[in-house]
Amino acid sequence: MELVFALAIGTLTASGVYLLLRARTFPVVVGLTLLSYGVNLFLFSTGRLATGAQPIIGSTEGYTDPLPQALVLTAIVIGFAMTAFVVVLSLRSLADHDDDHVNGDQPSSEPDSTASEKREGHDQ
Predicted confidence (pLDDT) per residue in 7-33, tens digit = 999 999 999 999 999 988 899 999 999
**Domain 2-110 belongs to what architecture?**
Orthogonal Bundle (1.10)
Length of the chain in terms of residues written:
124
Among residues 115, 101, 2, the alpha carbon closest in space to that of 51 is found at: 2
pLDDT at 38 over 90: yes
Exposed/middle/buried for residue 100 (C-beta within 10 Å: 0-12, 13-18, 19+): middle
Half-sphere exposure of residue 17: CA atoms within 13 angstroms, side-chain side: 7
Domain positions in the chain are 2-110
Element (H, E) at 109: none
> Is 118 within 8 Å of 108 (Cβ atoms)?
yes
Element (H, E) at 32: helix 25-45
Q: What is the mean pLDDT of the chain?
A: 80
- At residue 18, the pLDDT reads 96
Main-chain phi, psi angles of 90, to 5 degrees:
-70, -35
pLDDT at 54 over 60: yes
